[in-house]
Amino acid sequence: MHYAWEDSPVGRLLIGGDERGLRFVLFEEGRAPVVPEPGWREDPAAVADAVTQLREYFAGVRRRFDLPLAPAGTPFQLRVWEALRQIPYGETVSYGELARRVGCPNGSRAVGLANGANPLSIVVPCHRVVGAGGRLVGYGGGLGAKRWLLALEQGSRRMLNL
């Protein structure tokens, strides 16, 4: 596994991948802080495309990521993560709506767990999922990061403190 650290407007990110593709974009701080595992090799060149696209996203010039992705998960998690990629930039859906989209209309809790296990934060936009009535709930990087990402996508310069 190759990785690099990237400072971002929502905190320091650990970005990693291998020959199959991008494996993770994780927050150093937040609900589940991370550190590189033994055996991983720091190699910014190996994840340079991901770093470039994330910088473009944060600058407001990229709306969709074009990277080979290789997240590890159960078949259900992979289905949920693929559905997350279909949520348009700047839009949000509820956990219940996402559950319906993956064919599990009574499974909003299971969808929430899969959403929370997403290893590709930002790239697979789990921040676009909100609670009932549009409430901001749960995000691995913290609610401040989620609020910032949604404000970026919705063009709210005031919320970004720009």
Residue 42, Cα to own-chain centre: how many angstroms? 21
* 104 part of the active site: no
Mention every residue, 6+ apart, whose C-beta is less than 8 A from residue 118: 71, 77, 80, 81, 84, 124, 126, 140
| Residue 108: φ, ψ to 5° | -65, -30
CB atoms within 10 A of CB 82: 14
Task: Find the catalytic residue in 126, 130, 149, 152.
Answer: 126
Strands 13-18 and 2-6, sheet pairing: antiparallel
DSSP-derived 3-state class of residue 27: strand
Catalytic residue numbers?
A: 126
